[in-house]
Amino acid sequence: MPSRLCIISSLLGLLSANPIGAETVAVVYPETREPYQSIFLSIIEGIEKGGRFPIKEYVLKPNEPVENILGWLTQEGIGTLIALGASGLELADKLPDPMRPVVGAVLIDPDTTTRDVMGITLAADPEVVFERLKDLSPATKRINVVYNPERNAWLIKRAQEAAQRRGLTLRAFPAKNIRESALVYREVLQDVRAQADAIWLLQDDTTLDEQAVLPFILKEAWDGNLVVFSSNPTHVKRGALFSLYPDNVGMGRRLATMATKGASPGNDDIVPLRDLSTAVNLRTADHLGLDLSSRDRSQYSLSYP
């Protein structure tokens, strides 16, 4: 215990220097396999490009004691920490106050996060999502979304504001589990208007069964000429119109900015992801009467088929 106290007190001195100048920043990410490994490396590449500071990487092993990281930080004389992935968030929870790491590459619910952290959640920013929706499907007037109020109430609140700003109506239906969400989706799909309505699939595995309910939604949407969009490119492959997924390098740049300057004044400490790439399904677009094929393909990072 005395040694741990000693390490913590040393770190407090280092971390209090935030925001930093050209001090070394530690990037901690979990030991994982491909393709996840490449994603973390892309984010680190973005951090290197976005922050004008040297970085040192630390690969977290499964169930690695927090003392190891604390000892390493002290030994390296590092005061700023960027923690990536779910393991990074767990680590951030265990760090002693007032250490305030920057967390990224993980889904975070700011309403339920007990630890005082700043960072970027993987949830796509509704502002960007709806902007893209308006761009790709101008006829859409109403967005329907099923969400878990225990996880995504904060996101829906932001989405309501973003929709309002763009003249869109957001119909948000709460559901606490997959069973409830399935019933809600069925009701929603019975009360939609072709072309004008869209279904927004959130990144939440408590409200979407991908094996049974997703095919049902996609089929009904296809039959009813509805736009379906999400944050998962595989949904696009299966028939959704478009999906906004993380631009890892861009996310890394923004994390680096946060680590350097802290959260922007007036903004929340946990912000949704704004650096997003687009995947579109051109066949679905044709089916919906949207002429996306003639557009500049460079707008889309991925296109199917």
Report the residue from 157, 179, 261, 297 that binds another protein according to the rule CB under 8 A.
179
CA distance 223 to 6: 65
Q: Which of 38, 75, 164, 234 binds another protein (CB under 8 A)?
A: 234
Nearer to another protein by C-beta: 82 or 108? 108
Q: Are 279 and 174 in contact (CB under 8 A)?
A: no
The letter for the amino acid at 227 is V
- 8-state DSSP, 192: -
Our finding on whether 161 is near another protein (CB under 8 A) is no
Closest distance of CB 286 from another protein, Å: 26
CB of 205 to another protein, least distance (A): 3
- Closest to another protein by CB, 163 or 220: 220
Cβ-Cβ contacts under 8 Å for 60 (sequence gap 6 or more): 28, 29, 30, 31, 69, 87, 88, 91
Closest approach, Cβ 206 to another protein, in A, equals 4
Half-sphere exposure (Cβ direction) of 181: Cα atoms closer than 13 Å: 26
Segment 49 to 88, residues that bind another protein, using CB under 8 A: 85-87
Q: What are phi and psi of 134, to 5 degrees?
A: -60, -35
Determine, following the binding rule CB under 8 A, whether residue 204 of this chain makes contact with another protein.
Answer: yes
Binding mask 11-30 for another protein (x = CB under 8 A): -------------------x
Among candidate residues 74, 28, 66, the one with its CA nearest the CA of residue 259: 28
Q: Does the footprint of another protein cover residue 226 (CB under 8 A)?
A: no
Beta-carbon contacts of 87 under 8 Å, excluding residues fewer than 6 positions away, are 29, 30, 60, 62
As measured in angstroms, the least distance from the Cβ of 130 to another protein is: 23
Nearer to another protein, 105 or 228 (CB): 105
Binding residues for another protein, rule: CB under 8 A, are: 30, 32, 36, 40, 85-87, 89-90, 105-108, 122, 151, 177-179, 182-183, 186, 204-213, 216, 232, 234
